[in-house]
Chains A and B, each alone.
Chain A
Amino acid sequence: MKRNAEAIRRVQANVRAVADWTPRHWATWLFAVLRTGDEYPLDFSRFAEPLDELEAIFEHAGESVRSAMKDGVIKAIHEWDRRYHGYGVLQQLSNAAARLRASDAIHDLADFLMRNRTRLERDEDFFEVADSIIAVLAGFAPDPIIEKVFNALLFDDKVSPRLSGLLSIGLTMSNRKRFPAAFDRFIDRRKLDPTFFDDDQVVTEYAHFMGPRGLAEEARHLQLPAQQYLYSNLAKLRLVNPEVFIGWDGGEGHRHGDLAGFDDREEPTHLTVRYDAARIGIEARVKRRRSQTLGHAVLSDIAKRINANPAATPA
């Protein structure tokens, strides 16, 4: 990040002041600044958030200071006590660990989640800190500890279903082979609180990691409801071209009866799901291009194809 001259001077002065700080100093200082907002003896902008300034020091410091900062954050997380510091401080400490790439904080944060998993169901204050910690841990994936913890939490019925989106994507990032199981579980848990998730954003987040096309291809291994959810959102967001679903991208050059790209031996219901997704994608595209005649012709083609194969009709 490019900083202005004043910010650079301030950061350099701070870097000089912390040159001989040990992890103990950092931990004590972090508790003070996060509880009271008083960054003394360092000099922070009155308007910037402390973690932004901390990140600036980290970026400008040498290796020994960076190492002490990371160890300090890890130490502070280790020593955090709810009665003295409150959940807000832990939430900020976990964000600090993410900003400073203090990956050794994984152990304490994961341990904290596992020890308090029963609270994830009913304690709303705890839910907010868990929201941050899980998002931070997912940022450190792939890691075997994260895979183990996320797997345990995602498949635990007592953990709030609201965390299942983050947990499933974190698990997938830790081990891509777990994608079908993780996504199917997310869809199962989502049913318990269907309005909570912003589906567009969840699918976009998945697509960010796996690539939209890769996601659409991997989706063939999902159960039907999960496939339906994923395909329709990918098509609606236009992250995937209808060609992936039916072998035609919704553009010019289509001839009637010329649909390709699907296999009639495929499970009929899955085939219908793909047609539905393609229809959503084509509708989005046709609306944009205002060439409704072409779009309608193709949609009727799709309908004819499904009707010609009675087994493909949705149940």
Chain B
Amino acid sequence: MSNLTSWWRAMSAKPRSRLPLRNLIYDLRRNRVSRQTVRDVFRLLFRLWSRRSGRTALSSSARAMKLLDRAIIRVGAQAFCIGPRVRCRERVSRIIDEKSIWDFLLLKSSRARIVRREAPSGRSVGAMLPIRAEDVRRRAMLRGRAPIAWITKSSVLHTIARTTAEGDLAGRIRDFLGLAHYQADDQLFEIVYPRGALTGQDVAAPTILDGGSSPVYRSCSHPDTWGRANDLRARRLGGPEAVHRPIRFTAGFKLRYLGPVKKQHDPSHRALERRDSRRRTRHDMSHLRACIVIRSSRK
């Protein structure tokens, strides 16, 4: 059995791992990702896949997904932010949790902020956390674990804020933008980008290479060129999303407190699969094979 077949079988075994497969095939069929990059990813993936797994925390389908993620990361920056370009003419924002702000973006000394266990109190939802040049870490970059940052339209967040009760705001935004990695009690903030912060930067609709094996990520083409998140609360597409390469975090950005996540909705993988209208076909694997295998021309 070839590496591709065994990997495909592992990925097809469970609803959880079938979700990224759908994204992969969707992106390949619509030419949303460069075939050369996908080829590079799979070359690395199969090298890792053919090794003995040893003792890991992973089942075979989980290992198949994990190695896909590892291969994407190893291919490096060229694998990220390569989807269809986004027309980014309006204000954008990014959602972040409080721990990340203090770990990566702001200094603690200017506020004498101590690392302590209990959650901060006394802050009201919607309050701005002032940022001064003195507060910002010298090498602070806006990015996640992968070398990209996920953003959405600020106007969408404002609409949610107007129509949602204060206590549920962070949870609603989490669910609407498919931010399933934030859990109950996480304190969320909105980073409001200054106008022109992304001028000259590549801003792209996310693809499978950006979303990786995440079960809530969904590749999607929308007329406004932005991608769309999976709404975790309702059975429909969620808020607009796009990615950009890392940029420097400065005092020009604003931080708005959104409150703690109180209620979180996490649909089952089966439910996510059911609501996905993109049907799988029996030609999917051969389509992937055709994309990633370079056929040598024989004389």
| Interfacial residues, chain A to chain B (CB-CB below 8 A) | 1-7, 10, 13-14, 16-17, 37-38, 40-43, 45-52, 92, 95, 98, 101, 124-125, 128, 131-132, 134-136, 138-139, 162-163, 165-166, 168-170, 173, 195-198, 201-202, 204-206
Residue B215 lies at the interface, judged by CB distance under 8 Å to chain A = yes
Q: Is the CB of B66 within 8 A of A202?
A: no
Q: Is the CB of B99 within 8 A of A201?
A: no
Nearest chain-B residue to A47 (Cβ)? B181
Q: Is the CB of B181 within 8 A of A17?
A: no
Per-position binary interface string of chain B over residues 193-216, scored 1 when its CB falls under 8 Å from any chain A CB and 0 otherwise? 000000000000000000011110
B266 touches which of A4, A14, A45 (Cβ 8 Å): A4
B73 touches which of A37, A47, A131 (Cβ 8 Å): A37
Q: Which residues of chain B from 59 to 115 have a CB within 8 Å of any chain A CB?
A: 62, 66, 69-70, 73, 99-100, 103, 107-115
Q: Which residues of chain B from 126 to 149 have a CB within 8 Å of any chain A CB?
A: 130, 132, 134-135, 137-139, 144-146
Q: Is the CB of B134 within 8 A of A195?
A: yes
B145 touches which of A46, A125, A173 (Cβ 8 Å): A46
Q: Is the CB of A198 within 8 A of B58?
A: no
Whole-angstrom distance from the CB of B60 to the nearest CB of chain A? Answer: 13
Q: Is the CB of B66 within 8 A of A43?
A: yes
Q: Is the CB of A4 within 8 A of B180?
A: yes
Indicate whether A169 sits within 8 Å of B266 (C-beta atoms), given known contacts A2-B184, A43-B57, A51-B103: no
Whole-angstrom distance from the CB of A43 to the nearest CB of chain B? Answer: 5
| Interfacial residues, chain B to chain A (CB-CB below 8 A) | 16, 54-58, 62, 66, 69-70, 73, 99-100, 103, 107-117, 122, 130, 132, 134-135, 137-139, 144-146, 179-181, 183-186, 212-215, 264, 266, 268-269
Nearest chain-B residue to A5 (Cβ)? B266
B115 touches which of A13, A14, A136, A165 (Cβ 8 Å): A136
A163 and B110 CA atoms in complex are apart in Å by 8
Whole-angstrom distance from the CB of A183 to the nearest CB of chain B? Answer: 11
Whole-angstrom distance from the CB of A55 to the nearest CB of chain B? Answer: 9
Q: Is the CB of B213 within 8 A of A46?
A: yes
B103 touches which of A37, A48, A49, A162 (Cβ 8 Å): A49
A42 and B62 CA atoms in complex are apart in Å by 11
Q: Is the CB of B145 within 8 A of A205?
A: no
A139 touches which of B70, B114, B180 (Cβ 8 Å): B114
Indicate whether A1 sits within 8 Å of B185 (C-beta atoms), given known contacts A166-B108, A169-B112: yes
Q: Is the CB of B56 within 8 A of A198?
A: no
Give the residues in chain B near A124, CB-CB below 8 Å. Answer: 138
Nearest chain-B residue to A91 (Cβ)? B103
9 closest Cβ pairs, A-B complex: A165-B112, A17-B57, A201-B111, A4-B266, A2-B184, A41-B56, A13-B57, A47-B181, A135-B108
A42 touches which of B57, B109, B269 (Cβ 8 Å): B57
Give the residues in chain B near A16, CB-CB below 8 Å. Answer: 57
Q: What is the count of residue pairs linking A and B with beta-carbon distances less than 8 angstroms?
A: 144
A5 and B264 CA atoms in complex are apart in Å by 11
Q: Is the CB of A49 within 8 A of B213?
A: no
Counting chain B CB atoms within 10 Å of each CB, which of A10, A46, A50, A131 scores highest?
A46
Indicate whether A198 sits within 8 Å of B115 (C-beta atoms), given known contacts A17-B57, A47-B181: no
A163 and B54 CA atoms in complex are apart in Å by 47
A128 touches which of B100, B137, B180 (Cβ 8 Å): B137
A168 and B114 CA atoms in complex are apart in Å by 11
Q: 13 A-B residue contacts at CB 8 Å?
A: A1-B183, A2-B183, A3-B183, A4-B180, A41-B56, A45-B181, A135-B109, A136-B115, A166-B112, A198-B135, A201-B113, A202-B112, A205-B112
A17 touches which of B55, B110, B138, B212 (Cβ 8 Å): B55
Give the residues in chain A near B54, CB-CB below 8 Å. Answer: 41
A46 and B208 CA atoms in complex are apart in Å by 12
Give the residues in chain A near B114, CB-CB below 8 Å. Answer: 135, 138-139, 166, 169-170, 173, 205
A4 and B113 CA atoms in complex are apart in Å by 30
Whole-angstrom distance from the CB of A107 to the nearest CB of chain B? Answer: 18
Counting chain A CB atoms within 10 Å of each CB, which of B116, B122, B146, B268 scores highest?
B116
Give the residues in chain A near B215, CB-CB below 8 Å. Answer: 6
A125 and B137 CA atoms in complex are apart in Å by 10
Give the residues in chain A near B268, CB-CB below 8 Å. Answer: 5
Give the residues in chain B near A40, CB-CB below 8 Å. Answer: 56, 66, 70
Nearest chain-B residue to A195 (Cβ)? B134
Indicate whether A198 sits within 8 Å of B180 (C-beta atoms), given known contacts A47-B214, A132-B108: no
Whole-angstrom distance from the CB of B40 to the nearest CB of chain A? Answer: 18
Whole-angstrom distance from the CB of A65 to the nearest CB of chain B? Answer: 13
A6 and B178 CA atoms in complex are apart in Å by 14
Whole-angstrom distance from the CB of B65 to the nearest CB of chain A? Answer: 9
Give the residues in chain B near A197, CB-CB below 8 Å. Answer: 110-112
Indicate whether A46 sits within 8 Å of B214 (C-beta atoms), given known contacts A38-B70, A41-B56, A198-B132: yes
